[in-house]
Structure 1
Amino acid sequence: MPEIVELGERPYVALRGKVAMDGISAFADRLGEVVDWLAAKEIAPNDAPFFKYDVIDMETGLELEIGFPVDDLRSGEGEIVTGVLPAGRYVRTRYHGHPDGLREATSDLLAWGDKEGVAWDVDGNRWAARLEIYLSDPREVPDMKDWDTELQFKLKD
């Protein structure tokens, strides 16, 4: 069941890209580039990896970031960017299952928000913070059907 929570600012390092709807999986495979960049800078992630959907446009594609929250924020390089997830109220819910089911889980969460009358922090197609946080470590949970993912969508202040 979705819940509304108050979250503080969270610095992060991520890979940014423009991705077609059918290219999300290939983009996700590039998360290792972020891991390598962090290792080279001797920066340790402080939480689970995430996908941050900045722009969602079914016709032209997605503007997407994949990365990790960190304590030590430095300047990015090339496609590696740094940023801060904004503080504020978020709707948070968990999904258990293969990532292929996240589209339906997201639709369910948006429908819940419509029913509850929440106001998402979105301007047109651009979201302030719309996250999928991958809580399961594939080395410990190799079967993707057993993965846990948390959805966090920022609400308007």
Structure 2
Amino acid sequence: MPEIIEVAERPYVALRGTVRMDEISAFADRMHEVIGWLAAREIAPNDAPFFRYEVVDMAAGLVLEIGFPVDDVHSGEGEIVTGVLPAGRYASVEHHGHPDGLMAATRDLLAWGEQEGIEWDAEGDKWVSRLEIYKSDPREVPSMADWDTELQFKLKD
């Protein structure tokens, strides 16, 4: 069952791109670029990796960032971007299972929000903060069917 949580701001480093739905897994495979960038600068992630959906437009493509929260704001370069995930109230729900199930979990969270009269922090297809947080480490949980992912969608202030 979804819940409303309060989240502090979180600096992050990510790889940014525009992808079609069928390109998400190939884009996710580039996570090693973020890891390499962080390692070269001796910057340690302080929490689980995430996907941030900034624009969700099924026809034109998704503006997507894959990255990690870090302790401080840094300067990015090229496709590596930095920023701060905003503080505020988020609708949150846990998904246990293969990431293929996240589309249904997202649909259910959005439907719950509509039923509850929730106002998302979004303007049309552009979201302020819409996250999938991958809490399972693939080195420790090799079966994607056993992964835990948290959806966090920011509410309007």
Say yes or no: TM over 0.5.
yes
Residues 118-154 of structure 1, C-alpha deviations (whole Å, 9 max, x = no match): 0000001100000000000000000000000000000
Distance 2:71 2:91 in 1: 23
Unpaired segments ≥5 residues, structure 1: none
- 1:2 is matched with 2
How many aligned residue pairs are there?
Answer: 157
Unpaired segments ≥5 residues, structure 2: none
- 1:96 is matched with 96
- 1:23 is matched with 23
The SS at the match of 2:43 is coil
Aligned-pair CA distance for 1:73: 2.1
Identical positions, percent: 75
Distance 2:100 2:109 in 1: 16
- 2:113 is matched with 113
Distance 2:123 2:111 in 1: 18
Aligned-pair CA distance for 1:21: 1.0
The SS at the match of 1:74 is coil
Equivalent AA in structure 2 for residue 107 of structure 1: R
Distance 2:59 2:105 in 1: 21
- 2:61 is matched with 61
- 2:32 is matched with 32
Aligned-pair CA distance for 1:74: 1.3
Q: Is the 8 A contact 1:8 1:86 kept in 2?
A: yes
- 1:77 is matched with 77
Residues 18-39 of structure 1, C-alpha deviations (whole Å, 9 max, x = no match): 0011000000000000000000
Aligned-pair CA distance for 1:72: 2.7
- 1:126 is matched with 126
Q: Is the 8 A contact 1:20 1:61 kept in 2?
A: yes
| Structure 1 stretch displaced more, 70-79 or 142-151 | 70-79
Equivalent AA in structure 1 for residue 17 of structure 2: G
**Aligned pair 1:148/2:144, yes or no?**
no
Q: Is the 8 A contact 2:73 2:84 kept in 1?
A: no
Distance 2:89 2:100 in 1: 27
Q: Is the 8 A contact 2:12 2:68 kept in 1?
A: yes
TM-score by length of 2: 0.99
TM-score by length of 1: 0.99
Distance 2:149 2:19 in 1: 21
Equivalent AA in structure 2 for residue 140 of structure 1: E
The SS at the match of 1:65 is strand
The SS at the match of 1:46 is coil
Distance 1:117 1:91 in 2: 12
Equivalent AA in structure 1 for residue 21 of structure 2: M
